[in-house]
Structure formats: C-alpha cells, structure tokens
Structure 1
Amino acid sequence: MMSKIVTLTINPAVDKNTKFEGLVAEHKIRCEQPVYDAGGGGINVSKAINRLGGESIAFFPAGGPIGDLLKDLVKKENVLFETVETVAWTRENFIAVDSATNAQYRFGMPSPELTLEELEEILAKVKNRNPEILVVSGSLPENLSSIIFKRISEIFGENKPKIIVDTSGDALKYALECGAYLIKPNHKELAKLLGLEKIESSQVESAAKAIIEKYKCEIVVVSMGPDGAMLFNNDQTHFVAAPKVEKKSTVGAGDSMVGGMVWALSQNLPLSDVLKWGVACGSAATMNEGTQLFKREDAECLYESKI
C-alpha cells in the first residue's frame, strides 16, 4: 500500500496547556482549565499538512492512559494514523502562560524508553506504506537515537523515500550519514554538524553548502527564528524574511514550518515557494496561543502577502 507522505514521531507527547496569574515560589498557583493537544514533531507536521488540505499518515508509539488520550486527540484532528502499543507510558508536557506578564513556561518531560522490538514494529508498519516522503521529526529516545536512521536506511534499501528530518543533537548527524534528503537545522545545530562552536550569519551559506557536499544531502533549510529562513541546494539559494506578526506562542512554529514545506514539496512547487510556505505556516503558528499550530487562512494570507 503506497502513501505519498508518512510522518514518524518516535517520542510523542500530550501537551497540557493552561494559564495562571502571578508566579510566586511556594505559593499555590491557581490555573485555568487545561487544554490538551496532541504533540510531537511528526504528529504536528501531519496536523499542519492536513490544515493545508493535504493528506499524510502519522505513525507513533503510544502507551498507557496518556497514549490512549493521545490517539483520541489525533483522531479529533482528522489525521490518519497508525500506532504501536508500548510498555512505557506516553509522556506529557506542560505549558503555562502567566497572564500578568504573558511569559510562557514550557516544561518538557523526558522521553520514555522505547524497546528495540517496538521500534522494529513501527518501522515495519512505515515500510508497508511505501511512502514517497518520510518525515522524521521531533526528539528521539536516547537509547535508540544512534540506530534509528540506520535502521530506516536498511529497511528501505535502494527504494528509500525522500527522508525529511527535523531533530537535533547527534541524531541529526546520523540522519545525514544515512542519506537524509532535507534537514532543517538552526544556527547552533548547523555549527555543531561542522564541529564549530558557532557560525555568523555571513557564514550560513558556506556552512550549508559544506553539509550538502559532505553528506550528499539535497536540501538544507536553515531556520533563523524571527529573522526568517534560508534554503540551499546545489545550485539554488533562497531567503525569506519572517513577516511581522503579533506573537502569542512559539510552540509548534518549527513543526508548522516543516509541515508547510513538506506539503509544498508534495505539490511539486518551486523551492522558492516551498520556503515561502514554510515561513508562512511557521509565522502563522506564532499568532495562536498554546500549541494550536496555525489557522489555514492566516498562513494563506501571509503567503499571499509575498513574504
């Protein structure tokens, strides 16, 4: 069975969002009724693609009562999905906004351990879908981060899909070594890939081109936060400045950007438009509170404003 786009979230989460007023140590903090969202890089990418009118299948492990809640939340987003039941419970993240200052506090819980057998089961399900594009996004369990991309490469062999990766740390290097098609590092991650402490803005292009040459990666997109993003391949360079919007939350902005780019790639749009859609969706996500990602009309408006 063939699916054009598959997303893989190895370390999903249920995001619990709330508001409070005034953060005082050792005082009981009264919070508003929480809002729950399905979280994790690949799940958010699938949600973003769905909002743009595209279709993907999200694969993720789920365990315990929190895992059951996660599946219900993904279902409510009308996203197609397949899961593998795990022994360890799915994690929860906690995001709280102080309404007095609009300061946002984000508490990320450690990843539960995924067994090798559970990993192999979910990768077998992904392989069965024979995707054209495979998005691996989000953090990875520490016990498996060094082998996940190797196993993906081995399982698909010569029929490997276009693998789009948005992760960090050593896992990003492993992904490149195993033939990633597109990566989306920020400045710090780009520097680390080249063994540098930091790189200046003027060095981004040469650094990205060095990654493309060294690892034979097709596309490198460098996320520059409020400054926008740059896209590089062997013969093209594109820059899109981030539009000026009223920011309410940055949670999910990076995933929204990846979702916008993947959707645009699936539509065979020029790379300049791929980047524009990515920046439009990422910026639109910051216009909403909590982890709501973006509204389609906001993303379309930003894209059409010729950002």
Structure 2
Amino acid sequence: MPAIATLTLNPTIDVAYEVDRIVPTHKIRTTHEYYNPGGGGINVARVFVRLGGNARVIYMSGGATGAALDGLIDLHQLVRTRVPIAGPTRIALDALEHESGKEYRFTPAGPTVSEAEWTACLDVIDRTPCDWLVASGSLPPGMPADFYATLARRLAARGIPLVLDTSGEALRAGLAGGRIALAKPSRGELEALVGHKLESVGAVAGAAMGIVQAGQARIVATTLGHEGAVLSHEGGSVYAQALPIEAQSAVGAGDSFVAGMVYALATGAPIEEAFRHGVAAGSAAVLRAGTDLARPADIARLLEQVRITRL
C-alpha cells in the first residue's frame, strides 16, 4: 500500500454555503453548510486515503481556528503532524448562488510565519518516512520564496520524490532548484511563470516541455479547467480533453487531480496512465457542490471516459 506525506504550509478551514441570491447589506440565509479541513496537501491526503493509500498530513496551525482545524482533520481520520504557530489559521469561504449558478470564493492570505516556525516544518519532514511527498498550496507571509527548493534538496538526499503544486514566486523558485518529480501548474500559473499567454494546447505543451528539458521537473501536468489537461515528460506531451460533466464546484479539483495521479504513480502505473487517473479524479471533484472532493466511485466511472491524444 503506497504511503505519502503531504505538506500544507498555509491550511484553511473550508466553509461552504449555498444561497438563493447574493445581495449587498441584507442578511443572507444559507443552506447546506459544509465545514472541512482545507489547504492543498490536506485535500490531497483526503482523496489519497479514499483511494486506499496511507497519508500523513504535515501542516502549520495556530490560534483558536488552528484548534478547530485539528478537530476537523481528526474527523476525517487522517494521520497528522501539527507544527504549532503563533498566528491564527485562516478560514476560506465558498458560496454557491442558485439564481446565477455562480460560485464565489474568498481566501485570506493567512498568518505571518516566523523563521523558527517554518524551519520546524523542515525538521519534521526530515523525520517523516514516506514513498512520496506532496507539497501543495501557497506560502504564507513570512516564508522565503525558495522554501520549496530547499525542501526538494533535502528530499532528494533521501531519495524521496517531491510533487509540487503551488503558484507565483514559490513555483518559480521551486522549479529553479530542480529535483521536482511532478509539477502541476494550472494554465494561469504556467502563463505567469513564462511571462506570456498560452493561447493553444500546443503552446501549453511547449512551455511545459521547456521545464522538463531544463531539468527542473521530470513530469509537468498542466490543468486547463474546462478545456482538459496536458501532460509533458521526456516521452513527449499528451492532451486529455475535459469530460462532458456539469460542474457544481471548482473547489479541490486540482488537489483531487494530484491525489489521483500520485496514487497511480505510487502503485506502479505508467506516467500517461497515471495522468488519466488524475484527469478522472479532478473531474470527479467538481460533480458536487461544496468541499467534498473526489470520490472513488466517481473516479472509476469517469476513468473509462478519459482519452488522451499525443501532441
């Protein structure tokens, strides 16, 4: 049974509501409230465990909201290692408006982290055995942009592959250090990295292949939202068209993608087959409103529909 560890430096309590209509000033009554532990690595672990793997979540939390996050993680029966911090854990809000079908998402920057707090994360990881480590999510204020590059060096010395799913300068600096087994940018994150728009699937594949050829990441899986996803590795690039499903929520689709792909890789699947699992898992995540993430039965059903085309 594959075992991974996930690192979430800026976790959240994910709160989701459904409302009939959003209007200013007036008190808006909500229905179908959901409360879940959130943040990239925690979400990946939730799906990975559902698929049958073992996962340990490593995360920073603090304040009264940090205690609440700990409790929510325990409700999901995840094995956890909490790195305490002084600042309060953030709360993210997702609201689905029935009248328009639009989803509104509010995400704070998160607490400022001290050097002693983020170096404690590295020390915890040094003591954590795992087959893969998934570092997913943004860096909170106070952390150096090259944190993920430092993490990659330490993991490489132990022979542990690093999966990186982040954005902005954290992604740029992380890739610059090399030693990334799998990077999963969105199209927007890849465009920000290369500094220009990527208007076609071929342009996305070319930019991602540049990362592979530069030795920064062995595999790059770029998600394109409603257009599908592109996989680039030393064997070339392939494209998976988006599945014809009705999306209820975009929350956790990328994290579910990562969980599905890493689970397949960790159980010995070839890279392109693992990519198909990622696409199926990402698609499964959007089937339900709120923050429930992908379910194995939906992943298995959708996997049969995933087709890839060589570019």
TM range (shorter): over 0.9
Q: CA RMSD in A?
A: 1.8
Distance 1:188 1:102 in 2: 23
What is the match of residue 214 of structure 2?
A: 214
The letter of the residue matching 1:67 is G
2:86 aligned partner, one-letter code: V
2:233 matched residue in structure 1: 233
In the TM superposition, what is the alpha-carbon distance from 1:178 to its structure 2 partner? 2.1
What letter matches 1:14 in structure 2? I
Paired position in structure 1 for 2:122: 123
Q: Check whether the contact 2:228–2:240 (CA below 8 A) recurs between aligned residues.
A: yes
1:72-151 alignment, distance < 5 Å: 72-151=71-150
Q: Is the 8 A contact 1:188 1:199 kept in 2?
A: no
**Cα distance per residue 1:97-123 (max 9 Å; x no partner):** 222332211111121111111111122
Q: Deviations over 1:51-74 (max 9, x none)?
A: 111111110011112111111111
Q: 1:81 to 1:276 in 2, by over 3 A?
A: same
Distance 1:229 1:33, change over 3 A: closer
User: Does the 8 Å CA contact 1:187/1:199 hold for their aligned counterparts?
Assistant: no
Alignment map for 1:1-307 (pairs within 5 Å): 4-32=3-31, 34-156=33-155, 158-179=157-178, 180-307=180-307
Change (3 A) 1:266 1:110: same
SS of the equivalent of 2:53 reads: coil
Aligned letter for 1:10? L
TM (normalized to structure 2)? Answer: 0.92
Note if contact 1:230-1:238 (Cα within 8 Å) is conserved in structure 2: yes
AA aligned to 1:263 is: Y
Equivalent residue of 1:56, what SS? strand
TM-score scaled by length of structure 1: 0.93
Closer/same/farther in 2, CA of residues 156 and 298 from structure 1, 3 Å limit: closer
User: For residues 246 and 199 of structure 2, what CA distance do their matches in structure 1 show?
Assistant: 29
Distance in 2 separating the partners of 1:275 and 1:153: 22
**Identical residues among aligned pairs (%):** 33
Change in Cα spacing, 1:245 to 1:26, as seen in structure 2 (3 Å) is same
Contact in 1 for aligned 2:34/2:291 (Cα 8 Å)? no
Q: Tell me if the contact between 1:252 and 1:293 (Cα under 8 Å) persists in the aligned partners.
A: yes
The count of aligned residue pairs is 305
CA apart distance, 1:32: 2.9
Give 1:18 shift.
Answer: 1.3
Equivalent AA in structure 2 for residue 88 of structure 1: G
Give ranges in structure 2 of 5+ residues lacking alignment: none
Change in Cα spacing, 1:97 to 1:195, as seen in structure 2 (3 Å) is: closer
- 1:139-159 per-position Cα deviation (integer Å, ceiling 9, x unaligned): 111321413124314544622
Name the CA distance, whole Å, in 2 between partners of 1:216 and 1:24.
46
Q: Which sits farther off after the overlay, 51-60 or 194-203?
A: 194-203
Deviates further, 255-264 or 231-240: 231-240
2:249–2:288 contact (8 Å) kept in structure 1: yes
Kindly indicate whether the alpha-carbon contact (under 8 Å) linking 2:167 and 2:185 is maintained by their aligned counterparts in 1: yes
Contact 2:155 2:162 (8 Å CA) reproduced = no
Distance of 1:119 and 1:193 partners within structure 2 = 25
Contact 2:152–2:162 (CA<8 Å) still a contact in 1?
A: no
1:173 & 1:191 partners in 2: Cα distance?
11
- Alpha-carbon deviation of 1:197? 4.4
Q: Secondary structure at the match of 1:34?
A: strand
What's the CA shift string for 1:250-291, capped at 9, x where partnerless? 111111001101111110101121111101011011001101
* Distance change >3 Å, CA 197–CA 239, structure 1 → 2: closer
- Runs of 4+ deviating beyond 6 Å: none
Q: Matched residues in 2 for 1:63 and 1:33: separation?
A: 27
Q: CA deviation at 1:191?
A: 2.7
Could you say if the C-alpha distance between residues 150 and 222 of structure 1 is closer, same or farther in structure 2, counting changes exceeding 3 Å? Answer: closer
Question: Please, which runs of 5 or more residues in structure 1 have no aligned partner?
Answer: none
SS of 1:26's partner is coil
Alpha-carbon distance in 2 for matches of 1:281, 1:194: 27
The CA distance in 2 between the partners of 1:277 and 1:71, in whole Å, is 30
